[in-house]
Amino acid sequence: QTWRFITEELDGQVQYEYAEEFANRISEKTGGAVTIQPYEYGGLGSEVDQVKQLQDGAVELAVMSPGFTGGMVKEGQLFALHYLFPSDQRKTQDILNTSEALNTDLKERYEEYSISPLAYWTEGAMAWTSNVGIEEPKDFDGLKMRVQESPLMMESYKAYGAAPQALSWSELYTGLERGTVEGQENPIFFIYDASFNEVQDTMTISNHNNYVAMTTANTEWFNSLPANLKTVVTETITEMQDWVFNKQEELNSSFLEEIKNDTEYPTEIIELTEEQRNAFKEKALPVRDFYRENVSTVDGAILDKLIEEIKTAE
Ligand code: 6CS
């Protein structure tokens, strides 16, 4: 049998590398009885279309970013809150691995929509790019900031005074080039691999949030798998949490060097001091109440549980 595995990224980027490695491991463990066909982003529509394909069972497996389920699974938007997770990526990954709020409570919310998140992992800390050089909240004033389709991502940037707009990443390079959008957030490996540095003059190491991706399966398909295959899938996903952590770290650090050494498209790199970070944090914290009151369908219960787990971990 063949399972289809869609990703939101291209060959060489973290999500697609993950799907390929997963495919190899599953094929090896099942002695070739199961083959997995990984798909790069692009062929099957936008990120939001891909969510639908997983829900419909048109594909069995997907790497999915919670941002693109924002209009549907309200609680999943908590990943859009800035300064929630530790800026230390290892600590963040440990929380993603062990959190009951995420691996039980949030998972159940997703399953109401036939999406089973089997693991959460970081693709690295996100940086801001722009031509204005973001150092303090007022630099965001009126800035047309590109975000994914999540109302809470919009709210997070409105809190800094920006004018956020939702866009698929396939339209982002052209958008930045033409100025229809003026800034964006992404992990460093992605900024370089998608060439955003060609059309943006500055990159701010802001540590405002990390990029979380989920390994997901169509719920009905996954539940109907024979027990032995289910075990192979979950064991492989668990093993790969360290693998993908190392992969993102390697790509993020080597591509940071590439950005620094790119003389054709020079980028000013701005590293925020703790004091500068705090100015953003102050504006970001009230967005948690917005989430609790206007987004969450459980009055922020999952977020509050996660906050406690983060406190304990730190
Ligand atoms: O910015 C985005 O929308 C894209 N960024 C990453 C790191 N992965 C896929 C996603 O669609």
Cβ(236) to ligand 1 under 6 A?
no
pLDDT digits (tens, 9 = 90+) for 208-236: 999 999 999 999 999 999 999 999 999 99
Q: Whose CA is nearest to atom 9 of ligand 1?
A: 8
> Which pTM was predicted?
0.97
Mean pLDDT taken over the chain:
97
Across the range 75-103, mean pLDDT stands at: 98
Stretch 288-313: mean pLDDT, rounded?
96
Q: Provide the 3-class DSSP secondary structure of residue 293.
A: helix
What is the CA(186)–ligand 1 centre distance, in A?
7
Residue 142 has pLDDT above 90, yes or no: yes
Q: Which atom of ligand 1 is nearest to the CA of 211?
A: 7
Indicate whether residue 255 lines ligand 1 (CB < 6 A).
no
Question: In testing the pocket of ligand 1, which one of 6, 7, 8, 170 has its CB within 8 Å of the most ligand atoms?
Answer: 8
Region of poorest pLDDT, from 43-47, 164-168, 302-306: 43-47
Task: Quote the tokens at residue 175.
Answer: 């958008």
pLDDT of residue 252: 98
Cα–Cα dist 109/149, whole Å:
18
Q: What's the pLDDT at 43?
A: 83
Q: Is 117 a residue whose pLDDT tops 90?
A: yes
- 98 is written with which tokens? 């062990």
pLDDT value for 224 = 98
Mean pLDDT in residue range 127-146: 98
CB 212 within 8 A of CB 65: yes
pLDDT for the residue 44: 87
CA pair distance 61, 38, nearest whole angstrom: 9
E-only strand ranges, the chain: 2-6, 35-39, 61-64, 115-130, 145-147, 165-166, 183-187, 202-205, 210-218, 268-271
H helices of 99-226, in order, are 100, 107-111, 151-158, 172-178, 188-193, 219-223
Strand pairing class (183-187; 145-147): parallel
ipTM summary value:
0.99
| Residue 306 pLDDT greater than 90, yes or no | yes
Whether the CB of 8 sits within 6 Å of ligand 1: yes
pLDDT for the residue 70:
82
Q: Which domains does the chain have, with CATH numbers?
A: 2-313 (3.40.190.170)
User: For the residues 127-134, what does the mean pLDDT come to?
Assistant: 98
pLDDT at 77 over 90: yes
- Identify the band that residue 71 occupies on the pLDDT scale cut at 50, 70 and 90: confident
Report pLDDT for 166: 96
